[in-house]
Each structure stands twice: as structure tokens, then as C-alpha cells.
Amino acid sequence: MFQSRFWNGAWQVGCLGVGLFGLGLRAHVVGYSPEGTSGRNRACQRADALNTTGLYSLTRNPLYLGNFFLWLGPALFVHDGLLLVIVVQFFWLVHERIVLAEEAYLGEKFGDAYTQWAQVTPVFLPRRSGYVAPTEPFCWRRVVQREYAGLVGLVGTLYLLKACGDWAQYGRLVWDPFWTPLMVLACVVFGILRWTKKWTGRRQPNDH
């Protein structure tokens, strides 16, 4: 896009930074959230408490805000404005239904407490003031258990896009001095964190 190896590389690293920012948002939310909240509830809704502190004091959906940046990094990576529009549109369509279902559940379970919080807290885009410090201490173990696959997923996606671009341009795979070692490192970190999750899971069998 930039007709420059340096600026194209800088753009790619910037896209990685966008994705890592989203991963950091998710880690912040999960690390400070009480047990039984902010989980990956695929089978049914679950919320043992109403989160209103930390990033939840600025936006009602900080995890999905993190997801947005995780999607945005790869979408920007390929230098295609149309793809960017499609990805943002698809993100909105997917998460809108999830948010509506979750908010209906929270409103029914927590009643006035949820209504009062929702009236002053935006659905998605964070407000500029009103931050309330988390009441829970940060828990790295919870972050490792829930978000350990995010790093390798992000790096793997960008690495695959880079490899496809190189194949389209050169007709072969190219050893990239930045992305290839980074992909290897991400896989190593993934293996370590996966082992750590299993080990801590055995140590804490009742912690989900």
C-alpha cells in the first residue's frame, strides 16, 4: 500500500498493536471481574453478580469492545477498505444480537440495579468520565484460564494473512524475519499457558 518496505512493515506492526490492545482490554476486564461473571456463556446466560466497576463503569460491554479491536487489527492488515467495512458490519450484526439477549437477561435478574446502571453507562462506546475502580483484586490465573488462546489466535491470523499475501506476490512462502519468529513464540506461549491452565485447574477444581 505504501510502496515502502519500512512503512508497510510499520503498518503491519501497528495492526498487531491494535489487536493486542483489544486483547489487553479483555484481560483487564476478566482479571478484575468477580467469579461467575464475564464468562464465555455459550449454553446459557450466567451472571452471579452485576459488574458496574472497572471498565464496566465506562461501557456496558467492555469485552465486546476488546473483541472489536481484535477483529479490527486483521481487517486493517490487508489494506482493503471494502473488507474493513464488511468486517465492521459483520461484527455489529453478530454482537448486536448477543448484547440484546444478555441485556434482557440482566434486566430481568437484577431489576432496578441494572436499569440505573444502564441509564448512565453507554452500550458500547465508552464514556469519557465516571470511572469506578474495581472492587476485586486482579487475578492473573483467571486471565490465563479464559484468554490464553487469544494471543496465538491473533498472531496466527496475521501470520496467515501475511503468508497469503507473500504467496500471491511471489508465488511461494517467504521467511519473514519478524512474523515467523513471532508465530513460533506465540505457539510456545500458547503451549505454556495451556499447560498452566490445566495445572491450575487441577489445583482449583471448583474454579470455573
User: For 12-64, what is each residue's pLDDT tens digit?
Assistant: 999 999 999 999 999 999 999 887 675 555 555 667 788 999 999 999 999 99
d(CA 106, CA 103): 5
Contact 64, 39 (CB under 8 A): no
Q: Where are the domains of the chain?
A: 5-203
pLDDT at 205: 44
pLDDT at 160: 95
CB proximity list for 154: less than 8 A, separation 6 or greater: 16, 19, 20, 23, 70, 73, 74
Interval 120-144: pLDDT, tens? 999 999 999 999 999 889 998 888 8
pLDDT at 38: 58
Give the single-character DSSP code of 138: P
CB proximity list for 169: less than 8 A, separation 6 or greater: none
